[in-house]
């Protein structure tokens, strides 16, 4: 569909002073992908920013592909992101009778008609369009004929305008005009009496009181095809805001290798926090000056459609991971401990959970995800004797053995098991051996954790406690 656009500032449709109602309308044929999550976020924020309502509609009219697991995944993902909706979710399929009612009203008012074209006639029309190298735009011969009597099957088609032009002043894309000659008589009601997506969306938006349709710009052409239905029913036009798509880092269409996976993947497989995903999605196509770290409260206070850019955004997983690291460091220790504990098998007991919470200040600075927190916390709960990672084995061999023996003796003699006393003792061992602190700390770290890397070695000693620490060191001293 061809269109012309300009940057006109005027906005058609529902005035901004009206009670704002936005909606998110996913199709439950798969997971909630990252682009859909951003659309939901923008709708949620705009409603909250304007004191309006945010509604949820599940567009489950594709009965063959809609599944309950997909519905559950969408609802769970939205709840995880903190995108609560007002009232109950609306299920589109349950409203089929209402959709059909509107189609028949449009026939009675002369804005739609019964079409008896056969599959063969449609195929011939399609072949003619292909031969002429033009898109198929159906103008049925039944458009201006009287309906046939009897039980002959028919569909109900929109009687689209054929002259003039339709203009939409989109809040993101600007003013866009399409010649009405490019519109076709789309099907509103199939021959089996079921409504099409185009009809159902318009009816549901009206009946739900939606004032602002904020969605991906892949739906922009649909807006021009849906407006004739709205005008035929003499319903108020919504304000449109068609948001550019998200591309991969290379500028190509977002794919699974770029991050086009379900929201639950970021939670379960990548260990992201919802506030980090929300913050990243907000900045993916919307801006407020140079602000990068934006809290939910700030987002609600600042969000407006004018801040959405007209160009596609590029998804960058590394930026998301960096942002997640910030939120990990800011997160409550008890909350993080519960998230980490949930990933341990077998489950941690109360004492272990308390230990995990105490460890968070030492673990957080080194982690960019819950997954990395889990990995960093493993040393706390490992069973003796520790298996030493291959890369750490050289650290406890050879000349490290007398150092470990000296460390065990020095630490065992301590009256106080705190950071200050532990550091003093370890430094004294290094000084007595005539080596640098690192040459003592490295074998000590390997003996205590089985790895080359860990939180600060004195924090490790405090967290493990006297008995466990001395036992692990003793296990690695070769007789």
Q: Cβ distance 464 to 362 under 8 Å?
A: no
Distance in angstroms (rounded) separating the CA atoms of residues 75 and 62: 18
Superfamily of domain 4-246: HUPs (3.40.50.620)
Task: List the domain boundaries for the chain.
Answer: 4-246, 263-377, 390-475
Instruction: Classify domain 263-377 by CATH architecture.
Output: Orthogonal Bundle (1.10)
Q: How confident is the model at residue 128 (pLDDT cuts 50, 70, 90)?
A: confident
Distance in angstroms (rounded) separating the CA atoms of residues 412 and 73: 53
Q: What is the pLDDT of residues 374-412, one digit of tens each?
A: 999 999 999 999 999 999 999 999 999 999 999 999 999
- Span 437-464, average pLDDT: 96
The reported pLDDT for the residue numbered 337 is 98
Residue of 133, 256, 318, 478 marked active site: 256
Q: What is the pLDDT of residues 67-87, one digit of tens each?
A: 999 999 999 999 999 999 999
Distance in angstroms (rounded) separating the CA atoms of residues 181 and 160: 9
The reported pLDDT for the residue numbered 17 is 45
Half-sphere exposure of 143 (CA within 13 A, CB side): 13
Cβ density class 36-65: b for 16+ within 10 Å, e for less: bbbbbbbbbbbbbbbebbbbbbbbbbeeee
256 is catalytic: yes
* Nearest CA among 389, 317, 392, 361 for reference residue 458: 361
Q: How confident is the model at residue 38 (pLDDT cuts 50, 70, 90)?
A: very high
The reported pLDDT for the residue numbered 313 is 92
pLDDT at 6 > cutoff 50:
no
* Nearest CA among 305, 337, 313, 338 for reference residue 239: 305
Q: How confident is the model at residue 3 (pLDDT cuts 50, 70, 90)?
A: low
Domains 263-377 and 390-475 alike in fold: no
The reported pLDDT for the residue numbered 260 is 60
Q: Cβ distance 169 to 223 under 8 Å?
A: no
Q: How confident is the model at residue 250 (pLDDT cuts 50, 70, 90)?
A: confident
Radius of gyration over every alpha carbon of the chain, rounded to an integer in angstroms: 32
pTM reported for the whole predicted model = 0.90
Q: What is the mean pLDDT of the chain?
A: 92
Distance in angstroms (rounded) separating the CA atoms of residues 224 and 241: 13
Q: How confident is the model at residue 14 (pLDDT cuts 50, 70, 90)?
A: very low
What order do you get walking across the sheet with 165-170 strand by strand? Answer: 4-6, 174-179, 165-170
- Class of 390-475 per CATH? mainly alpha
The reported pLDDT for the residue numbered 131 is 86
For the chain, give the percent of residues with pLDDT over 70.
Answer: 95
Q: SS3 for 63-132, per residue?
A: CCCCCHHHHHHHHHHHHHCCCCCCCCCEEHHHHHHHHHHHHHHHHHHCCEEEECCCHHHHHHHHHHHHHC
Distance in angstroms (rounded) separating the CA atoms of residues 476 and 402: 11
Residue 133 assigned as binding residue: no
Distance in angstroms (rounded) separating the CA atoms of residues 403 and 420: 20
Half-sphere exposure of 415 (CA within 13 A, CB side): 0
């Amino acid at each position: 569909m061809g269109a012309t656009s300009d940057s006109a500032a005027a906005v058609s449709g529902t005035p901004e002073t009206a009670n704002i109602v936005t909606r998110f309308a996913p199709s439950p044929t798969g997971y909630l992908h990252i682009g859909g999550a951003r659309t939901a976020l923008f709708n949620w924020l705009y409603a909250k920013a304007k004191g309006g309502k945010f509604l949820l509609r599940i567009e489950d009219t594709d009965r063959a592909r809609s599944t309950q697991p997909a519905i559950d995944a969408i609802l769970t993902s939205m709840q995880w992101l903190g995108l609560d909706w007002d009232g109950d979710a609306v299920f589109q399929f349950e409203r089929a009778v209402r959709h059909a009612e509107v189609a028949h009203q449009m026939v009675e008012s002369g804005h739609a008609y019964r079409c008896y074209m056969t599959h063969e006639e449609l195929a011939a029309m399609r072949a003619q369009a292909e031969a002429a190298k033009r898109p198929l735009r159906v103008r049925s011969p039944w458009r201006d004929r009287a309906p046939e009597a009897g039980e002959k099957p028919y569909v109900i088609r929109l009687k689209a305008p054929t002259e003039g032009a339709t203009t939409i002043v989109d809040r993101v894309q600007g003013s866009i005009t399409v010649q009405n000659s490019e519109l076709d008589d789309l099907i509103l009601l199939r021959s089996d009496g079921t409504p099409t997506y185009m009809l159902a969306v318009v009816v549901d938006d009206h009946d739900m009181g939606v004032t602002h349709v904020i969605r991906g710009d892949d739906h922009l052409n649909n807006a021009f095809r849906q407006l004739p239905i709205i005008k035929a029913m003499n319903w108020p036009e919504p304000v449109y805001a068609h948001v550019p798509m998200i591309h991969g880092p290379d500028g190509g269409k977002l794919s699974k290798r770029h991050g086009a996976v379900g929201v639950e993947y970021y939670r379960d497989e990548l260990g992201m926090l919802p506030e980090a995903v929300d913050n990243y999605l907000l900045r993916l196509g919307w801006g407020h000056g140079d602000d990068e770290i934006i809290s939910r409260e700030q987002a609600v206070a600042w969000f407006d459609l004018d801040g959405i850019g007209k160009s596609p955004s590029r998804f960058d997983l590394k930026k998301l991971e960096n942002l997640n690291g910030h939120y990990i460091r800011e997160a409550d220790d008890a909350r993080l401990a519960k998230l980490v504990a949930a990933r341990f098998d077998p489950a941690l007991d109360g004492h272990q959970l308390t230990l995990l919470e105490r460890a968070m200040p030492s673990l957080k600075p080194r982690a960019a995800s819950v997954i990395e927190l889990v990995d960093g916390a493993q040393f706390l709960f490992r069973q003796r004797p520790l298996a030493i990672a291959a890369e750490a084995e050289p650290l406890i061999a050879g000349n490290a053995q007398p150092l470990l023996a000296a460390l065990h003796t020095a630490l065992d003699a301590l009256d106080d098991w705190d950071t200050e006393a532990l550091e003093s003792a370890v430094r004294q061992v290094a000084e007595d051996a005539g080596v640098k602190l690192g040459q003592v700390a490295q074998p000590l770290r390997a003996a205590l954790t089985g790895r080359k890397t860990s939180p600060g070695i004195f924090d490790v000693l405090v967290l493990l406690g006297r008995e466990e620490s001395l036992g692990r060191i003793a296990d690695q001293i070769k007789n």
